[in-house]
Amino acid sequence: MLNMLCATKGIGWTIALIALLALMVVYLVFGTINRKKNQEQVVKMINELKKGDKVVTNAGVYGEIASIRETNMGKVVVIKTGHEEDSKNASFITVNASVILGLDKKEDLIFDKDGNVVEPIDLKKEVMAEISEKTENKSKEKSAEKTQVKPAKKTTAKKPVAKKPATAKKETK
């Protein structure tokens, strides 16, 4: 009896160990697939970089690509940082293209009266509603101006002259 009890405990441990190994294999396979997919996206993004693109680096530097050149170590990118329009006062940083995290798609947050963040789609709807409201108000004002009674202007037209009755000509004999 004791031998059977020990045998069943050993089977439980082997099943648990097999399940754990299977989960590790699944984790590694899916992790490798996702890593390859991400690498392909990064390589595609780096190959599509062009002058004038706004980018952000892994270190958090935001800027605009001033130039790209190919070297024996890969692509080298010169990034113009800051808000200066004048290139004499602008800052430039030269980095390998592999440190570029992605394109800069940041937008300023817009808040409503209550302090809640307004989504761009909501903002478009709000702006369109405001524009249509303004145009409706203008059209109402114009129609109100047209319907207002305007004072009669003085007319300089001649008064009709009453015709004199025609007199019959006397015939002379």
User: Phi first, then psi: what are they for 11, rounded to 5°?
Assistant: -65, -40
Cβ atoms of residues 93 and 78 within 8 Å: yes
pLDDT, mean of each 10-residue run, the chain (173 residues) = 52 87 95 94 90 90 91 90 73 89 79 76 63 72 64 59 58 53
pLDDT value at residue 86: 65
3-state secondary structure of 131: helix
| pTM of the complete model | 0.48
Cα separation of 26 and 92, whole Å?
Answer: 45
Helix (H) or strand (E) holding 81: strand 74-81
pLDDT value at residue 121: 61
pLDDT value at residue 120: 63
Residues 6+ apart with CB under 8 A from 99: 57, 58, 59
